[in-house]
Structure 1
């Protein structure tokens, strides 16, 4: 049975929907809706500013005369509804519907518009609570993602790349070819100590080893480790492989690596990029370089492509955490939807670069690369960031 607060929020939402006024919940109410806090002693909602007078007129009829407050930036009307203080506010000359942080939160089978918790991550009042919540949630999501990446992954790798022996033969014939997109950002690898974070099946790590590097892969999948170890042994490369959540690396890794490499389909496994880039900073030697190569968010968040047709139907700024199938599931002969499900948060380019800078990594180069397919000409496919740890 819904509790009193839930009933009051649903009542308020129904009244605003009846008025056809755009709105979303903010502050303490938004954090409660998204599970950051367990209790909420007041309700705050922001509505479209040019509908404020009509909404207040309606609410005055049903809930008594509002206490009004006006500033240069906003107006606020306060009511008492079901014993809860309820603040209805409008921010002048802003548009609710296009706010980049607006999400829909399920509440008793009702999609409730709310400001995402990421809006409050830089707030002095709420940042500590939000960061604690994201850390705890990251642990749960990493556990779920780890389980997904240990379900039939070795089988999928063999189906996609061939046996480790076959894959090693191809690498031995042309190790630089496997690193083609990364080589412009890497120095001579001879003798360099490299950490390949979330290095998966070890293809890139083994290729770097063939070019003279001492490479360590850090990944949470033991099925990835199995394939990578068999691959590197077949290629006569001495590869170190740690099975670990990279956010929990111990101090034995600190200042140990000349280069840290992360590439293709990794960032979306993290609910907050700051702890990740903090780890990168810690494990790099002073003056060491971080090479990040990822799928461009224009392609992953905004545009849907099918053959020659492209549709702009996404929300580039969408901060919601999404459930999807693990990447390798298409290479399996059988499908287990629950076992192969992962949770992801997709990031904008601005969020990535800002998080890097926040963690004292000096950005040296940002390159956006186009899709090589003729039908996708002009659409960015990848971006690469080269950053340096300060001395």
Structure 2
């Protein structure tokens, strides 16, 4: 699986870093641009809006239908965008998938595609030095719906509230799509001014994955994509300062709901660039990432205390989250049994057989990720964000070498921080 992939080339270009990943696995070629800066309260909502505005048209294709026609001419190319959070960074991703010209009769596809990509990133549709009023109004409605849909989805809402409570003094608390109350302050002019700041100041990494000739692609990028007057932002990414709490913070919120959400946040004191990171992944696999994990088996199966119970790690901020859906009356019992699973891990209460099985599950998951072009890019981008070198093949090797003591060591570094319960208004909290 891995051996088909040639070496990744990383090239410093005109104001951005180009990552070329030649592989014969895919029939299409994938271009992804990632703009990264420090999370900040004052611009988070405007920033979340930008990727949606950029998708609505460019200088030469000013309407969505004109842009769709151009994409159709490029054999049904696909353009998408979103924003995400990794540690204390906010990232805007613009993704562009095009047919490989090797399989078509048109040998100028890459040139046309990179020209269009440049336009989508740096030459959006404008009207009198600002974005189109009509587009901004429409996309503000879309963003509002996105923010509100999180509030309506109780699992996402509970997770957001847990992070707000747990990281109340840290920028990581900021929600990726921003705040409804900011929307009315955003205008076509203010959004365009902030966009100018992004294209001048953000760190920009561009990834190209596919059956490509690296020299040809590098040359096309060198001639077609220039970032003008880049000045690196002085917004330093907040150091991973952790609020150490004297005691576990318990937050109980009540709404009209049938199923309660019990979400628990832990500090792992370990991030992607740390030596114990592979052990943290294996720990999470044993603890809550799979149907064979302790949370699923003990909280859900054996004790029927949860409709679901799982955990996941945030690799760049050093957090571990447990999610569970429970009957409101089972709060104390479910919380006790979840906490007991961490103690069991700290005491090494798992077998060598379970350890091996979990390592294989994680490795298979990573290999599956590497069978997908976007998966390859996300895994490589993890290194960029962490400022470290841990290629996927090396990560897999290190996961294979994780032993029982490593898992026990990392389990003992993990500290419970905040318990968040979203429950019914009846308030039955007895065990």
TM-score (norm 1): 0.23
Q: Which has the higher contact order (CA 8 A, sep 6+)?
A: 2
Name the one with the larger helix percent.
Answer: 2
Name the one with the larger strand percent.
Answer: 1
